[in-house]
Structure 1
Amino acid sequence: MNYDTYLLNHLLDKYEASEGFVKGVSRRRVLYKPEKDFKLNEEIVDPIEKKVFFKVINKLKEENLIDFKWEKFEENNLISEIWLIVEDTSLVNAYTLCHRVSKDKIATQSIEILQEKRLIIKTPWMLELFSTILEEADVMGKSWKFILSSEQTRDVCKVLELLDNHRGSNIDKRILSVNLFSDSKYFENNIQNKLLQLTTRYLFDWDSTLTDREKLQQMGIGFAPELLYFTGPIELVLESNEKVNCEFISKGSYLGADMLSEIKDINCLYTKIVTIENLANYYWYIQNERKHDTLVIYTGGFLTRHQTLFFKMLKTENLSELYHWGDIDLGGFRILLQIQTIWPEIQPLKMNVATFEKYADVRKKVNNGYIQKVKAILEKKEFGLFREVLIKIVETKQILEQEAELYFKS
């Protein structure tokens, strides 16, 4: 056993979990008690190994990395406790000896990478992802620990940057992997789960029925082109001047995102638009509430680049109503704010306190970490439209998913 690095790593782990590390000052020592370490005691039961251990301990003390004291009446036989020297030079030397980067430096590296990429990324959901992570880091300070290493952060950002610049339909993940890493399996083996973990924690409230493949497809990674779902009175004018009238397809239309480049105009025959976050609610709405003059669009979460382009092709002048119906949670509110960057006049539908109270029996509990995120945005100007219902979320520690509303309508 390498007693020096073994001991220092134990002490550095304790240090990084301590108040002194987080706040920068503490009177409490970072202590390690050898008698409680069964692995160490199995090694030094051998008298020769014990001498080696004591020699290492004394050397680390001479180098001002640690200090220690003997058990009373057991000098040169039993060590009572060892503590880390938390002076700047000592800490630098301890990390160097362990070939280790401190937790706060790892976090700082990831923050710098995300800040740099946020300046060049254009896709709204990616910007939202970066902003959410950086806000959490800012609030937690030195106690923040990112779920990715700095190298994993770089890899994930490379993937997001490629997707952001990709102008075609979905890109096959093996082609993506070869383009970025010269290895067709690198993305699947090293990045895929990290990307899904990151977006699940900080951004998307994925439908529980979605497979990993379907989640990746929503982000632009997969075999099939993205599908745009809509129902209502529009007429697609193709580059060939041919027209496709979707007005009487009452059960829903589907458009491959790669077809957008072949559409030169959209004739809009509607007077009302409703966008809907959840697919089950989208189908329920077109079957039960949609009027003939209403265009209904399924968003599926944050808008992709193709959905954004599609929205911009639709005319919204002189509409009688323009609404978005989403979950009563952070994701639902953020999706509406994203759509408002395209259509500033769009308003929430069934996303208020009255709806939240009406379906109290089917609301979903959330943890304290989620509530802290809600509290962090309560006073932000852009969330002012949802302030009353955000307060209810904090009070009840619950959210309301759209699907729950359908339980009472079935």
Structure 2
Amino acid sequence: MDLRKAIVSRLLDKYEKSKRFSGDAKIEKRITLNFSKGEFPFYDIENVESKENVHFALKELEKEGIIKIKWVKFEEGNIVEKVFLNLENLEKAYDAARREPKGAVLKKMAEKLFSFKQEIKSEWLLGFADFEIERIREKKSYPAYLPKEEELFDLTLMALRGIEQKGDEEILERVFSKRYLKDSKKFERVKGKVFAVMKDFLFKEYVEEDEAFERIGILKTIEEILFCGALKAKVAGSALDFSAFVYGTSLNSLSVREMEILDISCSRIITVENKANYYELIKDANSKGDFIVYLGGFYSPSKRLFLEKLYSFIKAKNKNVKFYHWGDIDLGGFKIFVKLKEIIKELKPLYMDVETLEKYKAFGEPFSKDYEKRLRELLGKPEYSEFYEVIQEMLKLGIRLEQEAILA
């Protein structure tokens, strides 16, 4: 280990976070590394060789005027108490640490943000750039949303610029990355940073990451929505009758966006959590007048849009259709149901009751104490009131039940 570099780097870290650096200091407090309080973990007074190596590095730095050593009282030359950074020799300190001064880094960041502003027109991106520039200039702080590392800083700005340049075009994530970041995998490295900017400056509301990118037309994959039932819809100008697909069919997420429902004929719309149960239900869906949609867990943005279009059409046409969800009798199943009710207020559970649990309890799976605790917590939440009875029975039997058990 380069002890000189390690010592000076820790002192510079403290300096760059201090009010002395930002110019807000009312009292000129010294920048200190307290060895006696373990602020330099590589200093071991019980290990003679290790201790002497640190002393040698410290004495060199003091001789060069970079630091000042304070020894423990009556232990001069034997045990270090504190080390102070000499602010008169900061240039030497940065050279010893082999790092660029924070002030120079911030200046470069501000210049890049100014250039970024000249290339964009979107109000939300301009607002973001102004926010970061002001933070750098007024607070002398690193940007709140952009990475400190220069490569990632540049990639994040490139990605944000690419979002504006692509306009309304829908594009796969890897294609976007290749086109605007010159590498199909680089976008993944800054995706979280880009999302944070969009959430606070574009959407200005709570939004899931996948939904946010889908809303601006950057798609991770072209999702397939599986369904079965008598649906008539217009997609890309063509009228389609899906009732002919008696064993189900699918639409991808791009088609769902364009889909305009012309008619739907059913008495029940049922969403299903697991694929095996979906295929079981569609065997006689037509004879029962059911419309079945496969969810596969919590709904994605595309599935949400599909369900919203179904629900809006049913309501607009005042059709007599009931809505059900069939999921696992467990924590996940209950939470998926509650989430679905955000879209479909009249939603009712299907085969998620005490009778089903009792009938198939031989296939139930035991749960842990922690799981039991989380299950009990649902009893105090009114949005789970439809499951209070079955939760009580689950706690009594000590089991949860997956949908597939009913098919066993």
Q: Normalising by structure 2, what TM-score?
A: 0.51
Q: Which residue of 2 aligns with 1:321?
A: 322
Partner residue, 1:344: 345
Cα deviation, 1:163-205, whole Å, max 9, x if unaligned, reads: 9x99776x222332257x543335455147999xxxxxxx99x
Partner Cα distance (1:162, 1:329) in 2: 40
1:246-285 Cα shifts (integer Å, max 9, x gaps): 3353321112333346654332221011101222331233
Say whether residues 1:48 and 2:56 are aligned partners: yes
Output aligned runs, 1:7-406, within 5 Å. Answer: 31=38, 36=44, 42=50, 44-45=52-53, 48-49=56-57, 51-52=59-60, 59=67, 69=72, 74-79=75-80, 151=147, 171-177=171-177, 182-185=181-184, 187-188=186-187, 190-191=189-190, 221-222=219-220, 225-237=222-234, 242-244=239-241, 246-260=242-256, 263-287=259-283, 291-314=287-310, 315-316=313-314, 317-319=318-320, 321-328=322-329, 331-352=332-353, 358-359=360-361, 362-363=364-365, 379-386=380-387, 400=400, 404-406=402-404
Matches of 1:191 and 1:54, distance apart in 2:
41
Q: Unaligned stretches of 5+ in structure 1?
A: 12-28, 63-67, 85-96, 100-119, 121-147, 196-202, 205-215
Which residue number in structure 2 is paired with residue 4 of structure 1? 7
- Indicate conservation of the 8 Å contact 1:282/1:298, yes or no: yes
- Cα deviation digits, residues 299-340 of structure 1 (max 9, x gap): 233434443333233344454632112345555444333432
Contact kept? 1:168, 1:258, Cα under 8 Å: no
TM-score for both structures, normalised by structure 1: 0.51
Higher mean C-alpha displacement, 35-44 vs 381-390: 35-44
Root mean square deviation, CA, Å: 5.8
The residue number in structure 2 matching 1:131 is: none
SS at match of 2:227: strand
Provide the residue aligned with 2:23 in structure 1. none
Separation (CA, whole Å) in 2 of partners of 1:337 and 1:8: 52
1:326/1:220 CA distance change after superposition, 3 Å? farther
CA change 1:241–1:409 in 2 (3 A) is closer
Secondary structure in 2 matching 1:322:
strand
Q: Distance in 1 between matches of 2:376 and 2:101?
A: 40
The answer to which of 297-306 and 347-356 deviates more is 347-356
How far the C-alpha of 1:77 sits from its partner, in A, is 0.8
DSSP-derived class of the 1:247 partner:
helix
Whether the 8 Å contact between 2:363 and 2:405 is mirrored in structure 1 is no
**CA gap 1:5/1:242 in 2 versus in 1, 3 angstroms:** same
Residues of 2 paired with 1:4 and 1:149: CA distance?
A: 29
Q: Distance in 2 between matches of 1:149 and 1:291?
A: 55
**Compared CA separation, residues 8 and 399, structure 1 to 2 (3 A):** farther
In structure 2, the residue corresponding to 1:45 is in which secondary structure? helix
| Aligned-partner Cα distance in 1 for 2:328–2:167 | 29
* Amino acid corresponding to residue 173 of structure 2 in structure 1: K
Q: Secondary structure at the match of 2:299?
A: coil
| Secondary structure of the structure 2 residue equivalent to 1:255 | strand
Q: Any idea what SS the aligned residue of 2:276 has?
A: helix
Match of 2:30 in 1: none
CA contact (8 A) 1:233 1:292 kept: no
1:331 & 1:342 partners in 2: Cα distance?
18
Q: SS of the counterpart of 1:344?
A: coil
Residue 108 of structure 2 corresponds to: none
Letter matched to residue 406 of structure 1 = E
Which runs of 5 or more residues in structure 2 are unaligned?
15-35, 85-99, 103-123, 125-143, 195-206, 209-213
How many residues align? The count is 298
The whole-number CA distance in structure 1 between the counterparts of 2:342 and 2:52 is 66
Given residue 184 of structure 2, which amino acid in structure 1 is its aligned partner?
A: K
Aligned equivalent of 2:407: 409
